[in-house]
Amino acid sequence: MNFHARSAWLEGRAVADVRIAVSAGRITAVTPGVPAEPGDTVLGGLVLPGFANAHSHAFHRGLRGRTHGDGGTFWTWRTAMYALAAKLTPEVYRELATAAFTEMVLAGFTAVGEFHYLHHRPDGTPHEDPNAFALALRDAARTAGIRLVLLDALYLTSAPGEPPLPEQRRFSDGTAQAWARRVRQIPADEFFRVGVAAHSVRAVGPADLAVVAETAWDLGAPVHVHLSEQPAENEACRRAYGCTPTELLDRAGALSPALTVVHANHVTDADVALLGARQASVVACPTTEADLGDGVGRYRALADAGSVLALGTDQHAVVDPFAETRGLEGASRLGSLRRGVFAPAELLAALTTGGHRILGLDGGTLAVGQPADLVAVRTDSVRTAGSDPAQIAMTASAQDVTDVVVAGEPVVRAGVHRAVPEGRLVEVLGSFA
């Protein structure tokens, strides 16, 4: 199947009348300034490379709109999250994740990094298949039509040196070695890649970080970690180890270009310099960080220091790639008291090239040899009419996504998902109320 874009994002600018030829799921030719040929699928608006959602916890989608009434903090929200996790079986999770991933595809995401720590039964004992939850996520992604990078997370302690809380037992494999053995058994394929993660320095001590790094090396996989999301995490790390979480990762030999840290809201000047010097990447999750009161990340400073930036929807209080780009810019403006902290092209890069890079995936550009993952965004809606197409990241919303193509196959056409009816999404998501 071949495509014709009335306008497409090529090399950092919008170009008119672009024909995109596709074979075996990859782009074989990109020809600007030509009319559509018979049989081409015509895509209106502005066609962008598929977006990568670099940080997701799919089961958190079951909490949307039900945790705001009593205010509280990140830590009180976490209590509600644990209560939801306690109810999930692999079968129920498959339904919830299918809905969450489908919502992502409708919004323009063609790849997702699922930071996965819900592993076992509530008492911590494995299912008959110890990767039952991972396979449920795989099946959900296949139904939704999204590329999935499963970032299987090691989770051993509730705080440095402390055993898991009862509600955390299902997250833990007991030892880093048992976790690594289980992860190596997960069957991967072209659309389901396996990566690894250390949940955080609260949940993984310095000695076990080496096991995570070794497993990632053996699998040729990306490695992610939550970092300095809350001040309490930094304080606990200083008490236990006499340093910041970033410094602890560096002491353990974990800081490298292969590592991606998530959030980094409360990093010091020295942390910023260290992350940049080691070329570690950073995922910002602006809508989640605002929802949970995490604080404002130092993302401009991190990018200037040398870190690649990507974006994630994390707990899915909002699933809208453009809300994330505006959140990144908006928070940075509030923190710096100036406008234009990130250029629009930088915001789109965080959604596209940055996200694919940190997930270990090809993609993020409309170029020969790249996956044929395409997103068409309206430029004539009440939100986008009159906008400079180069600034679409500052005006569009998920509602403006009309078509989504994954590996050359239309998954969303005229705003309708080919496999999952909207009514089914509403039914599943409503069941968690």
Report DSSP state, residue 350. Answer: I
Report DSSP state, residue 344. Answer: H
Using DSSP, state whether 65 is helix, strand or coil.
coil
- Is 291 one of the annotated active-site residues of the chain? no
**Which of 373, 417, 372, 365 has the alpha carbon at shortest distance from 112?**
373
CA–CA gap between residue 296 and residue 337 (Å, rounded): 13
**Which of 338, 319, 328, 233 has the alpha carbon at shortest distance from 283?**
328
Q: Which of 263, 266, 316, 356 is catalytic?
A: 263
Q: Which of 152, 271, 314, 400 is catalytic?
A: 314
CA–CA gap between residue 269 and residue 278 (Å, rounded): 14
**Which of 185, 156, 186 has the alpha carbon at shortest distance from 170?**
156
Give me the helices (H) in 107-228, please: 132-144, 176-183, 206-219
What are the C-alpha distances in Å from 402 to residues 22, 48, 373? Answer: 20, 12, 14
DSSP-assigned letters across all residues of 178-197: HHHHHHTTSPPBTTEEEEEE
Using the structure block, give the residue that is written with the tokens 């051993």: 156
Q: Which residues contact 430 (CB under 8 A, 6 or more apart)?
A: none
CA–CA gap between residue 223 and residue 359 (Å, rounded): 9
- Is 17 one of the annotated active-site residues of the chain? no
- Mind telling me the catalytic residues? 263, 314
